[in-house]
Amino acid sequence: MMKKTPDVHIPELLAPAGNFDKLVTAIHYGADAVYLGGEQYSLRARAGNFSRAEMKKAVTYAHDHDVKVYATVNIFAHNRDLEGLDDYLRFLQATGVDALIIADPGIFHIARKVVPDLPIHLSTQANVTNFSAVEFWKKQGAKRLNLARELGLAEIHAIRQQSDVELEIFIHGALCISYSGRCMLSNYFTGRDANQGDCAHPCRYSYQLVEEKRPGQYFPVEEDSRGTYIFNSKDLCLLMRLPELIAAGADSLKIEGRMKSIGYVGGVVRVYRAALDWIKIQIFSGTRPEKILLPQSFSNEINKIGTRSRTENFFDAHPSNDGMLYDTIRTRQRYAPAGIIRAVEPLLVDVRNPIECGDRLDYLGKAIEPRPCTVVAMKTQDGEPIRRANPGTKIILQTEPVLDGATVHSLLRKNMEGL
Ligand code: SF4
């Protein structure tokens, strides 16, 4: 008897691409779509954004791999910012990007007039939190809405029941303590405006108290002897909640992090891709998505990436103190990105953190289980044997066991446990 194909849609996996190298890595590990910013109009002003020539190259590369590209035009614009916007939007359309990501109603309005055929995805910064806002933006012509990060699963589900507009959900990455990232803290402390893409992250600083008649006398505000980081949120991680998000009808699952390293982007995309593929197999075997429980091996892998611990934020209820890292800016991480494989036979590695003979590395393939190995020898590209390789160099690497089947663009991770 033919098995009936279940009527469940596996959402798109949408990854950040802070530069061309990160885009290639995200695509290598299985992103269905990437988002990137040009040199203007894009939040993350310091993300190494794409020049016009790089943007064309990125779109061509992504489309050659059947991956969609969304361009961020998501600053909150002042009048002066609108000059040149028409030309930039026409350029993006000519480049072939698949959609624009916009937060500001003014930019939205201009984009509808200048490039009416180019789909618009509403940024999370537009703070869509209710049915009426969903309908409003749909009527304005938004094809997709990235819902506010302050929504829980029940609210996402209820919005899905009431609207057929595409819904995009943030599933992983850094969180602001401000409302969907609309914040003046950075502007106030450093003159760098978060709403113009230039946040200095002062919410992660350590704070002390000063009584106004005693200038220079700093009173510690302590959780413990290390001080306190009162605004320092843990990072969002909805990995183990993917089955519920699929059941709720999410269309796209977004990973934050255009400023993050290539090791972070590749590592996170790898885990979420493997998880979605595993869930898809369960669904096609007849299990309803809401009944699926991801094995612990997925959680173990995601816990090896990043240094701010994990929170599910508003997913079940309002976050409590558990969602914050009050006593440290970051947690200790026992794994570090080691390098990127640039060629195989022999294994040519672009080094990102120091590697020494005897180090234990994990080769990160597409399967969720890493492949451990030990460095037994290294050479420069000129053939000179070395014992230690520094970041920024390229080396020929020999491991035990040999990494048969290793592929270009894959990552190596250093296991520092026991070092
Ligand atoms: S300062 Fe912190 S809370 Fe404010 S926008 Fe930047 S990251 Fe978000």
Q: Looking at the structure, tell me whether residues 91 and 171 fall in a common domain.
A: yes
Q: Are 369 and 307 found together in one domain?
A: no
For residue 110, being part of any structural domain is answered with yes
Q: Is the CB of 230 under 6 A from ligand 1?
A: no
Q: Residue 155: how many CA atoms within 13 Å on its side-chain side?
A: 18
**CA 383 to centroid of ligand 1, rounded, Å:** 47
Q: How far apart are CA 119 and CA 172, in angstroms?
A: 24
What are 225's two structure tokens?
């002897």
Kindly state whether residue 198 falls inside one of the protein's structural domains.
Answer: no
User: Residue 112 falls within a domain, yes or no?
Assistant: yes
Q: How far is the CA of 201 from the centre of ligand 1 (A)?
A: 5
For residue 312, what are its two tokens? 């599910």
Question: Is residue 277 included in any domain, yes or no?
Answer: yes
Alpha helices in 260-386 (DSSP H): 262-284, 296-302
pLDDT at 47 over 90: no
Residue positions counted in the chain: 419
Helix (H) or strand (E) holding 114, with range, is helix 105-114
**C-alpha distances out from residue 138 to 117, 132, 392, Å:** 15, 10, 47
CA of 143 to the centre of ligand 1 (A): 28
171 shares a domain with 49: yes
Which position has the higher pLDDT, 224 or 265? 265
- Number of separate domains in the chain: 2
Ligand 1 centre from 233 Cα, in Å?
10
Q: Which of 186, 188, 206, 258 to mutate to test the pocket of ligand 1 (most atoms within 8 A of CB)?
A: 186
Do 341 and 369 fall into the same domain? yes
Q: Is residue 100 classed as helix, strand or coil in its secondary structure?
A: strand
Same domain, yes or no: 238 and 339: no
Checking if the pLDDT of 179 tops 80, the result is no
- List, in sequence order, every residue forming a beta bridge with 15; answer none if it has no partner: 34
**379: CATH:** 2.40.30.10
Rounded CA separation 297/166 (Å): 31
- The Cα 279–Cα 171 span in angstroms is 16
With cut-offs at 50, 70 and 90, classify the pLDDT of residue 178: confident
Going from the Cα of 45 to the center of ligand 1, the distance in angstroms, rounded, reads 14
Do residues 72 and 161 share a domain?
yes
Q: Do 97 and 171 share a domain, yes or no? A: yes
* Domain contains 226: no
- Rounded CA gap, 107 and 349, in Å? 43
Q: Which residues contact 10 (CB under 8 A, 6 or more apart)?
A: 246, 276, 279, 280, 283
Distances (CA, A) of 45 to 41, 89, 152, 227: 9, 18, 30, 30
Kindly give, in sequence order, each residue whose CB lies less than 8 Å from that of residue 273, ignoring residues fewer than 6 positions away: 13, 29, 30, 31, 366
- Same domain? For 150 and 288 the reply is yes
* Two structure tokens written together for 315: 């997913």
Minimal-distance CA residue to ligand 1 atom 8: 176
Nearest protein Cα to ligand 1, atom 3: 176
The better pLDDT of the pair 207, 165 is held by 165
Choose the final residue of a domain: 268, 297, 323.
323
Range of the domain at 390: 335-415
* One-letter amino acid of 353: N
What is the structure's pLDDT at 42?
75
In this predicted structure, which of 132-136, 316-320, 342-346, 373-377 has the lowest mean pLDDT? 316-320
| CA distance linking residue 20 with residue 231, whole number of Å | 32
Q: How far apart are CA 364 and CA 326, in angstroms?
A: 32
Confidence of residue 249 (pLDDT cuts 50, 70, 90): very high
Which of ligand 1's atoms lies nearest the C-alpha of 195? 5
Residue among 192, 199, 206, 234 whose CB has most ligand 1 atoms within 8 A, to mutate:
199
Of 78-87, 91-100, 258-267, give the range with the top mean pLDDT.
Answer: 91-100
In this structure, the answer to whether residues 242 and 385 fall within a common structural domain is: no
190 occurs within a structural domain: no
User: Residues 137, 270: one domain?
Assistant: yes
> What's the average model confidence in pLDDT over 403-415?
95
Q: Which of 323, 354, 376 is the last residue of a domain?
A: 323
Ligand 1 center from residue 183 Cα (angstroms): 6
Check: CB of residue 288 under 8 Å from CB of residue 246: no
For ligand 1, the distance from its centroid to the CA atom of residue 168, given in whole angstroms, is 21
C-alpha 125 to ligand 1 mean position (Å)? 12
CA dist 131 and 226 (Å) reads 44
Pocket test for ligand 1, best of 127, 149, 188, 203 (most atoms within 8 A of CB): 203
Whether the full predicted model's pTM is greater than 0.85, yes or no, is: yes
On whether residue 204 sits in a domain, the answer given is no
Angle between helices 131-140 and 153-162 (to 10 degrees): 50
Give distance in angstroms: CA of 327 to centre of ligand 1: 18
Confidence of residue 289 (pLDDT cuts 50, 70, 90): very high
Answer whether the bond into residue 289 is a cis peptide, omega within 30°. no
Domain identity same for 88 and 158: yes
The pair of three-digit structure tokens given for residue 385, joined into one six-digit string: 């044997």
Residue nearest to atom 1 of ligand 1 (CA): 201
* pLDDT of 119: 98
Q: Which CATH number characterizes residue 170's domain?
A: 3.20.20.70
Please determine, for residue 3, whether its predicted confidence score (pLDDT) is greater than 60.
Answer: no
Residue 353: what pLDDT? 93
Contacts of 353 (CB under 8 A, 6+ apart): 336, 337, 338, 339, 391, 414
Residue 311 included in any domain? yes
Cα 198 to ligand 1 centroid, rounded to whole Å: 10
Instruction: Tell me which of 258, 291, 323 is where a domain ends.
Output: 323
Phi, then psi, of 338 in degrees rounded to 5: -105, -45
Q: What is the dihedral of CA 311, 269, 31, 314, to 10 degrees?
A: 0
Instruction: Pick the closest to residue 82 from 44, 46, 113, 45 (CA basis).
Output: 113
Residue 183 near ligand 1, beta carbon < 6 Å: yes
- Mapped onto helix, strand or coil, the DSSP state of residue 224 is strand
Dig out the tokens for 284 from the structure.
Answer: 């096609």
The answer to whether the CB of 147 is under 6 A from ligand 1 is no
Whether the pLDDT of residue 282 is over 80: the answer is yes
Query: Measured from the CB, is residue 196 less than 6 Å from ligand 1?
Result: no
pLDDT band at 1 (very low <50, low <70, confident <90, very high): very low
Same domain as 377, residue 292: no
